[in-house]
Amino acid sequence: MINEQIVQSRCFSDSELLEILNSDFNSLQEQADFVRKSVYGNEIFIRGLIEFSNFCKNDCLYCGLRASNKELERYRLTKEEILNCCENGYKAGCRTFVLQSGEDLSYTDDEICKMIAEIKSKYPDCALTLSMGEKTYKTYKRYFNAGADRYLLRHETSSSAHYKKLHPSSMSIENRKRCLFDLKDIGFQVGSGFMVGSPYQTNEHIVEDVRFLQKLNPAMIGIGPFISHHNTPFANFKSGSVEKTLVLISLLRVMFPFALIPATTALCSLDEQGDIKGFQAGANVIMPNISPLFARKKYTLYDLCDNKICEADKLEKRIVRLSKKVESVGYKIVVSRGDVRNAR
């Protein structure tokens, strides 16, 4: 077991990180829960996720939205459909909207900026998060000036060699990192993260990921287990471990006390209690999908997505059900933007 003093100091050597990754570290989970409650209490923040397009120019080997997947029925939500999602989400208690898509080249910067401005005008008490992939500094700056508050861009793996095994040659970890630091420089609350158990990943790769996050110091850290998709080159690879994901959530909470850490959809897809286990491990964000049902069925990043995100119930009923589930273990969903809290 890792020395308790080291846990409390939040300083880990590489060998100590590897020890954590190779163990069932229950005491770290207890420490993580204590740290999270010290900063955020028992509050769980909800983000309304709007998957507005499943078109993507990239051909990442693990993703069901990859350009080579010709079986996927593609879609784009209209502006009216997106605004309707925001309206429904607001009524259900969401005070952050997350606009997520593949890297869809059909949208101009002007169109995205107008959408951002309209959403912020209608819901000035809400935060707006974008998750649209790699862009230029100029484009990110325009999004920020239009009113976007946050940007999610998982680095997936910080190892250049590992990155090349997961992505086509047209993509590079160097450009992904450039994007993340550009976003921070502009003033976004930045979110990054990585897959747990992705093909060819080693514990040494995960240590590299943790070290990169220390350099970036993001406001949000999202991790989830890898889940394969049948129409990708990684179709036959096994899924990542729920247990290892939970250990890493605890580790990241201890190392990044003020970070916003979600219990991700992938975690909930592999374990019906994944959200609750995530909160108990130190997570404090949940992202209910507020996209239209037809879109949720077509935004297939991986094969098990239907397990959790394609519920046909109305959004408000889903939020009420989630609230009761969260309250049953001592947490509470709050109506709040849920901004990151910084050290005093």
| Tokens (6 digits) for 328 | 């049953």
Token readout for 335 is: 């109506």
Question: Measured in whole angstroms, how far is the alpha carbon of residue 180 from the centre of its chain?
Answer: 14
**CA–CA gap between residue 162 and residue 156 (Å, rounded):** 10
CB distance 191 to 285 below 8 Å: no
- DSSP, collapsed to helix, strand or coil, labels residue 206 as helix
User: Per residue of the chain (344 residues), what is the pLDDT tens digit?
Assistant: 444 544 455 689 999 999 999 876 567 899 999 999 999 999 999 999 999 999 999 999 999 999 999 999 999 999 999 999 999 999 999 999 999 999 999 999 999 999 999 999 999 999 999 999 999 999 999 999 999 999 999 999 999 999 999 999 999 999 999 999 999 999 999 999 999 999 999 999 999 999 999 999 999 999 999 999 999 999 999 999 999 999 999 999 999 999 999 999 999 999 999 999 999 999 999 999 999 999 999 999 998 644 444 565 688 888 999 999 999 999 999 999 999 997 54
CA geometry: angle 174, 175, 178, nearest 5 deg: 90
Q: What's the pTM?
A: 0.94
The H or E element that residue 51 is part of is strand 48-53
Q: How far is CA 2 from CA 7, 28, 243, in A?
A: 7, 9, 18
Give dist(CA 262, CA 182) in Å, integer.
23
